Amino acid sequence: VRERFDAHFGTQIPSSLKMRDRANNSLVAPTHINRYFFPSTYPVFVKDAAGGRIRDLDGNEYVDLSGGYGPHILGYSHPVVNEAIISGVTAGNVNGIGHEPEVELAELLVDAFPAAEKAILCNSGTESVLLAVRLCRAYRRRDVVVKFEGHYHGFSDQGMVSSWFRFTGDKHAPEPIAGTLGSDSGVVRNTLVFQYGDIGGLDRLREHADRLACVIVEPMPSSTAAIDEEFLSALRRTTADLGIPLVFDEVVTGFRVAYGGAQTIAGIEPDLTCLGKIIGGGLPCGAVVGRAELTDMARSSEDPFLDYEKKAFAGGTLSGNSLTCRAGNAVLTHLRDHPTLYEDLEARTRWLRAEFEESTRKRGIACRINARGSIFSLNFSHRSAGVYRERMAGSNFKATIALAYYMRKHGVYLPELHSFLLSAAHTDDDLAVVGKAFDLSLTDMAG
């Protein structure tokens, strides 16, 4: 397959192909050429990026719909972010010592979420989930974590349990499965897996309540870009009744689908919220925000011996470094002060979705597109978006990967097997390029 694709696209991307071969001699991860367990057959190595576009080593320009997998809601190289980073470098990047930008970021985060009283800063979405779970385990003095099939919470052992590809057991009571080789089997044993949207299945929470540290959920799973408000209300009611902390993973949706994330759309207040991506302005960043009773599990007291026994540890050398915080503050302030940006993104999302649907409809191609608030999920499947395992079983992933490559040929960078993201920097011209590229790619794929 690789040779066929190299022959097909090779003349367009000779430098990227050369760089792929060079990279393969030394670099395993995280470069995208080896993402998701398979090597890309249309690698793109970026020379520079601005607004909604990236340019590769051969000078090809692409409208980018990866959005860096989430952070770049304002597009690449936005002046507000650039200025913050440059002035931050000039002022000196400080970490591990107090500074104003970390306080400002915490204030912005707490103000954005009605349910949040305090924030803890860290370096990634993965770390934010690790921290949230630790706070809940410390608070509840229990080990077991409830999560939902198909929800990815970062690359930790815990975050990946039953998060993708494999699933077994009853769909209403899935069996927990390690998300990756190398996982601690104890973590898998201490996880219970539920089905998003299955209100009846929430009775299982009552059965296990005594063992539970917390429930963690993506309120709007980015792989489906769909939110089930009725289910989330039932989940909130049940967890509140049982006194079990409810954690919303809004690493993708926080500041993307609305300033206050999916929870503002659903009108539901979780106990803790995990954040990442956008809040660092493109630099590594994560945060847990929520009720002080929980976040204060990591707050030091007067007595260090008491801390050891009664407190959870939250550390990280680069957590809350001033450069990241300045970049994050710049983005969040910009988003806060331009609330119409979200309506605009929603309108563009609707327009592009309609273009895609028209292209598939006129060819009679089974394709399900879910799109909301600048997140698109596209599956070549006639199944509904509902249950994760059914969606997976009914999807033609080879076609989805092939689409990503053909789109590149037509000037659009789609991430492979990942939802794609619009930014506020995408222009009408960019969107028109995407719509046309999709149409041309479907023709190519049929040929």
Sign of CA dihedral 200, 148, 229, 207: positive
- Written as six digits, the tokens of 310 are 């009664």
Residue 193 Cβ vs ligand PLP, minimum distance, rounded to whole Å: 16
Cβ closest to ligand PLP, residue 43 vs residue 282: 282
Cβ closest to ligand PLP, residue 251 vs residue 385: 251
> Shortest CA distance to 134 belongs to which of 107, 109, 158, 106?
158
Residue with tokens 């990866």: 66
Residue 182 Cβ vs ligand PLP, minimum distance, rounded to whole Å: 17
Contact between residue 163 and residue 150 where contact means Cβ atoms under 8 Å apart: yes
Residue 22 Cβ vs ligand PLP, minimum distance, rounded to whole Å: 25
Cβ closest to ligand PLP, residue 252 vs residue 327: 252
Distance CA 99, CA 355 (A): 48
118 is catalytic: no
> Shortest CA distance to 158 belongs to which of 313, 27, 310, 274?
274
157 is catalytic: no
- Torsion (CA) 27, 31, 32, 36 in degrees, nearest 10: 70
Set 42, 152, 406, 413: catalytic member: 152
Residue closest to ligand PLP (Cβ): 125
Cβ closest to ligand PLP, residue 9 vs residue 388: 388
CA distances from 297 to 45, 97, 137, 279 (A): 43, 21, 10, 23
- Torsion (CA) 5, 11, 15, 18 in degrees, nearest 10: 50
Contact between residue 36 and residue 416 where contact means Cβ atoms under 8 Å apart: yes
Contact between residue 54 and residue 413 where contact means Cβ atoms under 8 Å apart: yes
Contact between residue 217 and residue 248 where contact means Cβ atoms under 8 Å apart: yes
Cβ closest to ligand PLP, residue 316 vs residue 411: 316
> What are 216's strand-pairing partners?
247
Write out the residues near ligand PLP by the rule CB under 6 A: 69, 124-126, 129, 152-154, 218, 222, 249, 251-252, 276
Set 62, 64, 277, 342: catalytic member: 277
**CA end-to-end span of the chain:** 16
Distance CA 313, CA 138 (A): 10
Residue 156 Cβ vs ligand PLP, minimum distance, rounded to whole Å: 9
Cβ closest to ligand PLP, residue 16 vs residue 223: 223
277 is catalytic: yes
Residue 218 Cβ vs ligand PLP, minimum distance, rounded to whole Å: 5
Residue 416 Cβ vs ligand PLP, minimum distance, rounded to whole Å: 14
Set 56, 249, 271, 430: catalytic member: 249
Active site residues: 152, 249, 277
